[in-house]
């Protein structure tokens, strides 16, 4: 079983962008019920199918499988709930820890979040100056939630 321990934060400013380069991700959801999701994702000419279930405040069971890129694109267009999540993901190393910063596009434009994967829930890690408030426990920041309630509608 794959276990993911992940904490998520808002980003204060653009200081993280210095020297960063990102990859475009496109992802959609086939299923989002009972605390579990089935996701299709493309990045850099690759396709992935992921099954993920919330297993605690910051822990998830996660199974990810590479699938043909053309099949992933077809599933995104014909099977996944719309709108799709489109984002640029940047990997930034800070004191040996890898932060993934997601800058969202489309209906979620303006939202920027940073995630860090940990080895155990109590692991101590450095907080870069550009990190803002933690949103790990807030479901509205999950990618699966952003499909049905995009960031652009939060002010309505």
Which residues are known to be catalytic? 29
CB of 41 closer than 8 Å to CB of 67: no
Give the Cα-Cα-Cα angle 148, 152, 156 (nearest 5 degrees).
Answer: 90
N-term to C-term CA, the chain = 40
Eight-class DSSP state of 141: G
In the block, which residue shows the tokens 């934060």?
A: 9
d(CA 18, CA 129): 13
């Amino acid at each position: 079983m794959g276990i993911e321990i992940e904490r998520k934060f808002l980003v204060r400013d653009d200081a993280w962008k210095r020297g960063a380069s990102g990859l475009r991700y496109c992802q959609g959801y086939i299923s989002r019920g009972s605390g579990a999701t089935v996701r299709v994702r493309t990045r850099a000419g690759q396709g992935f199918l992921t099954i993920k279930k919330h297993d605690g405040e910051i822990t998830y069971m996660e199974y990810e499988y590479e699938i043909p890129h053309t099949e992933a694109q077809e599933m995104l267009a014909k099977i996944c709930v719309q709108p799709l999540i489109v984002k640029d993901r940047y990997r930034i190393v800070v004191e040996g820890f890898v932060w993934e910063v997601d800058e969202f596009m489309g209906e979620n434009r303006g939202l920027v979040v940073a995630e860090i994967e940990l080895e155990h829930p109590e692991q101590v890690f450095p907080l870069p100056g550009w990190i803002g408030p933690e949103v790990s426990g807030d479901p509205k920041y999950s990618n699966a939630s952003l499909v049905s309630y995009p960031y652009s509608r939060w002010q309505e």
